[in-house]
């Protein structure tokens, strides 16, 4: 789930919770204050009746007390109202037939009596019987009125809360998204990518740190490239001198007792060649990695390239007892950088001949499979297949990384040991041209490396 969705949901949840809590809290306090108010009104009414009964006693005017009792009884929510003498007999009531009798008994459970003393001693009392249902109905009606007044306000507050939540989610996640995108681009090798850092908060700090980190990475990358360029330059000149001197001396010494001398010299030459190859490989890789490798595409004849390769590798294959076969349709052409394809194929052929034991074969083939076989894109395929030891599935993706080799696979002859750079270079050379390298291999049967070049 995206961070914006999460934050939006959290903010919406919080707004709803705050609005809900406010509504419930408001409802409860209003309700208790209403209950308090109605209780006050009830006791005031009973006090009023008590006072009327007291006054009637003082001035000996029973009629005033009767009127007061009738008055109180007529109020809404009152079931009955009367005054009692010290013995508990009715002395004031709207119904004069009840005077001098015991008060009428309470019917049902609805009546809630409230008694207030009128005199001290054998107490006269004023009694008002309130209706519980009427009391509750009154409170409920009042609460309903309040709710109708606060709902619109709550709705507006909630709407504003949601709007604020949406704005907050957007405001906070947009810079985070930009930083995430920047990190992806940096990880993909775009070291010159920078973020805007106008904000003054922590996200602005993060963007500034990101930019400093990208700058530092760029510097380190430059240092690495400079180092490789320097090492390459410093090694290449003396190595070519060694190589040409060794060649020169080997040509000038007659055979016989000097053969040992020549053997030693040939070791010097082999090592010089090996070091030279290593330096060139490092240089090629550094160019590929820094995207400094320029690609010069031209349309060329595939059969011509394959013939050149078989001429180059024919003698080595014969020497190692490996059969070299070719299978290329005439007239097949491809639009690619010829030198780079030549170099990639040389690396693949070198590997195939290095790992295939004597008696095996290496097949060089080319073709232009139907576009459906390559996701609808037209392409030309160049393949080097061998009957060597094969590569275990777990090692197949790894061997295209630099310095990676398959453990336990040994070259089929005592030649120059490799450094594990060849396939990384092949991959880089082909991918800079928009192509791809594919490997199919079965342990014990052989390997098949194909270059897919887009047309």
Ligand X SMILES: Nc1ncnc2c1ncn2[C@@H]1O[C@H](COP(=O)(O)OP(=O)(O)OP(=O)(O)O)[C@@H](O)[C@H]1O
Return residues touching ligand X (CB under 6 A). 281, 347, 351-352, 355, 386, 388-389, 391, 399, 405-406, 409, 418-424, 447
CB of 294 to Mg ion, least distance (A): 24
57 binds, among ligand X, Mg ion, none (CB under 5 to 8 A by kind): none
Closer residue to ligand X, CB minimum distance, 186 or 385: 385
412: how many CB neighbours lie within 10 A of its CB? 20
- Counting contacts by CB under 5 A, is residue 422 touching Mg ion? yes
Residue (71 or 346) nearer to ligand X, CB: 346
Between 19 and 424, name the residue whose CB sits nearer to ligand X.
Answer: 424
Rounded to the nearest whole angstrom, what is the least distance from the CB of residue 398 to ligand X in the complex? 9
At its nearest, how many Å lie between ligand X and the CB of residue 316?
14
Does 447 participate in binding Mg ion (rule CB under 5 A)? no
Tell the smallest beta-carbon distance from residue 240 to ligand X (Å).
19
> CB of residue 243 vs ligand X: minimum separation in angstroms?
18
> Which residue in the block uniquely carries the two structure tokens 């055979």?
255
Residues forming a β-bridge with 379: 454
Alpha-helical runs (H) found in 253-407: 259-289, 302-319, 338-355
Minimum CB distance to ligand X smaller for 22 or for 439: 439
* Whether the Cβ atoms of residue 322 and residue 387 lie closer than 8 Å to each other: no
Question: DSSP code of 191?
Answer: T
β-strand pairing of 78-84 with 90-92: antiparallel
| Minimum distance of Mg ion from residue 405's CB (angstroms) | 9
- Residue with CB nearest Mg ion? 422
CA angle 251, 255, 256 (to 5 degrees): 155
- Complex with ligand X: residue 433 or 441, whichever CB lies closer: 441
Q: Could you report how far apart the first and last alpha carbons of the chain are, in Å?
A: 40
Q: Residues 89-95: contacts with CB within 8 Å, 24+ apart?
A: 91/53, 91/62, 91/65, 91/124, 92/52, 92/53, 92/56, 92/62, 92/65, 92/66, 92/68, 93/66, 93/69, 94/66, 94/69, 94/70
The binder of 103, among ligand X, Mg ion, none, by C-beta within 5 to 8 A per type, is: none
Kind of pairing, strands 323-327 and 361-367?
parallel
Q: Which two tokens stand for residue 206?
A: 């993060």
Q: Among Mg ion, ligand X, none, what binds residue 420 when CB lies within 5 to 8 Å by partner kind? A: ligand X
Question: With respect to Mg ion, which residue has the nearer C-beta, 15 or 351?
Answer: 351
Nearest distance from C-beta of residue 437 to Mg ion, angstroms:
13
Total residues contacting Mg ion by CB under 5 A comes to 3
Write the binding mask 402 to 421 for Mg ion: x where contact by CB under 5 A, - elsewhere.
----------------x---
Instruction: Tell me which of ligand X, Mg ion, none is bound by residue 453, counting a contact when its beta carbon lies within the kind-specific cut-off of 5 to 8 angstroms.
Output: none
- 131 or 351: CB nearest ligand X: 351
Residues found in the chain: 455
In the region spanning residues 318 to 377, those forming contacts with Mg ion, defined by CB under 5 A, are 351
Quick one: which H or E segment has residue 439? strand 436-442
**Minimum gap (Å) between residue 406 Cβ and ligand X:** 3
Contact call for residues 454 and 379 (beta carbons, < 8 A)? yes
Give 184 or 417: the residue with its C-beta nearer to ligand X: 417
337 interface partner picked from Mg ion, ligand X, none, CB below 5 to 8 A per type: none
Asked if 332 contacts 367 with a C-beta cutoff of 8 angstroms, the reply is yes
CB of 412 to ligand X, least distance (A): 9
Number of H helices, E strands in the chain: 8, 11
Residue 66: Cβ-neighbour burial (10 angstroms; 0-12, 13-18, 19+): buried
Choice between 165 and 341, CB closer to ligand X:
341
The residues that touch Mg ion, with contacts defined as CB under 5 A, are: 351, 418, 422
């Amino acid at each position: 789930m995206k961070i914006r969705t999460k934050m939006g949901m959290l903010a919406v949840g919080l707004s709803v919770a705050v609005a809900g809590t406010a509504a419930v809290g408001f409802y409860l306090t209003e309700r208790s204050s209403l209950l308090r108010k109605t209780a006050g009104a009830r006791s005031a009414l009973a006090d009023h009746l008590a006072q009327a009964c007291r006054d009637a006693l003082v001035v000996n005017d029973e009629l005033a007390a009767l009127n007061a009792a009738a008055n109180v009884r007529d109020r809404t929510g009152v079931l009955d109202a009367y005054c009692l003498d010290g013995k508990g007999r009715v002395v004031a009531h709207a119904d004069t037939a009840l005077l001098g009798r015991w008060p009428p008994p309470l019917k049902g459970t609805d009546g809630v009596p409230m008694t207030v003393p009128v005199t001290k001693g054998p107490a006269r009392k004023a009694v008002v019987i309130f209706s519980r249902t009427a009391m509750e109905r009154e409170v409920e009606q009042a609460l309903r009125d309040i709710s109708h007044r606060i709902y619109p306000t709550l709705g507006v507050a909630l709407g504003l809360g949601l709007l604020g939540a949406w704005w907050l989610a957007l405001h906070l996640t947009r810079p985070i998204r930009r930083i995430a995108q920047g990190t992806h681009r940096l990880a993909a090798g775009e070291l010159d990518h920078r973020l805007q850092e106008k904000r003054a908060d922590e996200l602005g700090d993060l963007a500034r740190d990101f930019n400093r980190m990208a700058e530092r990475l760029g510097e380190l990358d430059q240092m690495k490239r400079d180092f490789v360029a320097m090492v390459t330059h410093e090694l290449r000149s003396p190595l070519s001198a060694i190589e040409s001197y060794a060649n020169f001396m080997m040509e000038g010494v007659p055979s016989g007792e000097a053969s040992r001398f020549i053997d030693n010299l040939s070791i010097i030459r082999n090592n010089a060649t090996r070091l030279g190859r290593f330096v060139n490989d490092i240089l090629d890789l550094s160019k590929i990695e820094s995207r400094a490798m320029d690609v010069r595409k031209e349309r060329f004849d595939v059969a011509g390239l394959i013939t050149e390769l078989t001429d180059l590798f024919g003698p080595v294959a014969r020497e190692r007892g490996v059969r070299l076969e070719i299978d290329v349709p005439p007239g097949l052409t491809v639009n690619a950088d010829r030198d780079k394809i030549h170099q990639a194929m040389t690396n693949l052929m070198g590997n195939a001949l290095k790992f295939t034991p004597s008696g095996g074969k290496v097949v060089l083939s080319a073709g232009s499979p139907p576009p459906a076989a390559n996701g609808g894109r037209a392409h030309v395929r160049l393949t080097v297949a061998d009957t060597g030891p094969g590569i275990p599935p777990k090692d197949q993706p790894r061997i295209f990384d630099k310095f990676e080799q398959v453990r336990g696979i040994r070259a089929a002859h005592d030649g120059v040991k490799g450094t594990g750079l060849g396939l990384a270079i092949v991959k880089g050379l082909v991918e800079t041209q928009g192509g791809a390298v594919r490997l199919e291999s079965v342990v014990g049967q052989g390997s098949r490396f194909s270059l897919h070049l887009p047309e």
